[in-house]
Structure formats: C-alpha cells, structure tokens
A and B are shown apart, each in its own frame.
Chain A
Amino acid sequence: MSVLEAVKQESATVASDPVVAAHLPRLGMSAPLFEAVTTHGKIRLEDFRGGWVVLFSHPADFTPVCTTEFLAFAQIAPELHKRNTELLGLSIDSTSSHIAWVRNIKEKFGVDIPFPIIADSNKQVATLYGMIMPGESTTETSRCVFIIDPAGVLRAMIYYPLTTGRNTDEILRVIDALQTTDKHRVATPANWHAGDKVIVPPPATMEEVDARLNAGYECTDWYFCKKAV
C-alpha cells in the first residue's frame, strides 16, 4: 500500500468513526466552550457572549499564505467591529511564536494585528472543533472558519485546504447574511450582498400562499418571492 493510499484509508476511517463524528461541531448547536492562552492573555469563549465571533485557524506562523490571510483579516477587522464581531485566531504554535510573527508583520508590512491568537500547543481547541484534517496534515490546523453568534451558537463553518488562502470578503458577506436573516426572518439568495433583495421564506399553507401574493413582494411564483429590507 502506498503512503497516499494509507493516508486516504486513515482519513476515511476517521471520517466514518461515529464517535469522532458525534463530537465534531454542528451548525445550530452550541459552539464548544474553551479557555485558551492567547496573545491577549487567557480568554474563554464565553467572554465574547453578546457579540459575534469569527474563530479561525491557520496552519503555522511565519508562513506566506497565512501572512497574507492575517493582513486580510486585519483589514476587515474595522468592518467586523461595525457588525459587533470579533476575530479570534488559532494555530498550534506557541504564544512566543505568535508574538514574534505579529511583530514581524508589523515590521515588514506596517500592519497591526488587532485580534487575539490562541496558542493551542496541546491542540485542545483544534481537537474540539475538528480543525486538524489528518488527510492534509496531522501537525497543522487547516484553514477553518467558525462563525458564532451572540448566544454562542455555531452559525457557519467554512473549511479551506492548506494551499488556499481565504476570501475575507466572503466572511464579511456571511456575517451580513446571518445578521440580516436574524433581524428580518428572511433567507438570502446565491451571491447576495448587503443591500440586495432577500428571499421571503416559502409558505407552508394555502392560506399563506394567498396572503403572500397580495403582500407586495416581488414574486416569480408562489414559492419564490423576494423583498427589499
């Protein structure tokens, strides 16, 4: 058996293991709680309660793709703050490594990294959230994004491989979509951006069908209606 086949077999075993699968985070469930050492001191997930959190992992400090991502996350931090959202980074590097890297980014790129970074040396948080993908690496966290709402509920998860830097505009877009959904009880269509029309949830009864056709929505058919918010 080749190394590649062995890795694939191990990955398939982990993925199909009901015990492992049962412990991985799920959308709509409470985000797993933790206390972790960060570049801003010891922080608990509950410390963010009442606001939104973007918890994201990166493979390693002092690597080029991760550096471009940190620059991009720092750039959207002010926009996230306008949305009552905080960033929280994570890798299995040490606090000293994180601090040295943050200082290096400031020195080489002139950019402050304003958010805390978890030093998950014992992989406690990475394991809780399934951030390590054995098929990619057993020693690094993949590029995972967990969006957690003010009640501590996991609302979105996005996973990127080690080789692909994230699109931070997409993360902002998802935050906008989730907050719009919560505020107006609507859904958002493909490629939606803030300001676009939203989807009115489909009716469940004939009475609702009749009501919505007279509600002033922009309807293509009884199940497909949009409105401005």
Chain B
Amino acid sequence: MACIGSQGELTESARRMLAALAPPATPEDVAAHTGLPLFRVRAGLREMAEAELVQAQDGRYAATERGLSFLSR
C-alpha cells in the first residue's frame, strides 16, 4: 500500500490506519475501524513496521514516536 508517498508524507490509508492504533489494536480491529480490507491492513501494518512507524506486540500494533510525528504533520 506504500505507507509513505513520494513527497515523504503518509498516504491516506496509512494515516487512517495509524489513527486507529490508539489504543493499540489488532489488524482485525483496524480493518473494522477504518473500513479497509483486512488484507490491506495486514500488508500496510507490516510495511509501516518496516518503516518504524508502528511496532507490534502480542498481536497488537501501536504507533511509534516516529509514527506519531508523521501523523501530526
């Protein structure tokens, strides 16, 4: 889903997913909250974890400081 666009900004779907991670949430929770298909949420969270925008613990994802700073831009 490419979480970061060509201008270094969060893509719309990445922004929606990040915003759905307070409190930490499972991919299923995020899919239900955002209306995005579950496969896109799983792929997106994995990509955002690789970009250190989110981190996973016990099956739940939380925004990192870096993720929150992107979200506030």
A residues adjacent to B (C-beta < 8 A): 40-44, 46-48, 50-51, 86
Residues in chain B near residue A51, CB distance under 8 A: 38-39
A86 to chain B, nearest CB (A): 6
Contact B37 A44 (CB under 8 A): no
Residues in chain A near residue B42, CB distance under 8 A: 44, 46-47
| Chain B positions 30-64 with a Cβ under 8 Å from a chain A Cβ | 37-40, 42-44, 46-47
B64 to chain A, nearest CB (A): 20
**Contact A48/B39 with A41-B1, A41-B2 known, Cβ cut-off 8 Å:** yes
Residues in chain B near residue A40, CB distance under 8 A: 1, 40, 43
Of all chain A residues, the one with the shortest Cβ separation from B37 is A86
The 22 listed contacts between A and B (C-beta, < 8 Å) are A40-B1, A40-B40, A40-B43, A41-B1, A41-B2, A41-B40, A41-B43, A41-B44, A42-B47, A43-B43, A44-B42, A44-B46, A46-B42, A47-B38, A47-B39, A47-B40, A47-B42, A47-B43, A48-B39, A51-B39, A86-B37, A86-B39
Residues in chain B near residue A86, CB distance under 8 A: 37, 39
Residues in chain B near residue A48, CB distance under 8 A: 38-39
B47 to chain A, nearest CB (A): 7
**A43-B43, A48-B38 known, 6 other contacts, Cβ within 8 Å:** A41-B1, A41-B2, A41-B40, A42-B47, A47-B43, A86-B37
**Contact A50/B47 with A41-B1, A41-B2 known, Cβ cut-off 8 Å:** no
A44 to B39, alpha carbons, bound, how many Å? 8
A40 to B43, alpha carbons, bound, how many Å? 9
A50 to B37, alpha carbons, bound, how many Å? 12
A50 to chain B, nearest CB (A): 7
A44 to B45, alpha carbons, bound, how many Å? 12
B32 to chain A, nearest CB (A): 13
- Chain A CB within 10 A, most for which of B1, B38, B43: B43
A43 to B47, alpha carbons, bound, how many Å? 10
A41 to B2, alpha carbons, bound, how many Å? 5
B56 to chain A, nearest CB (A): 15
Contact A50 B1 (CB under 8 A): no
A51 to B41, alpha carbons, bound, how many Å? 14
B50 to chain A, nearest CB (A): 10
Q: Closest 6 interchain pairs by CB?
A: A41-B1, A47-B39, A47-B42, A48-B39, A43-B43, A41-B2
A51 to B27, alpha carbons, bound, how many Å? 14
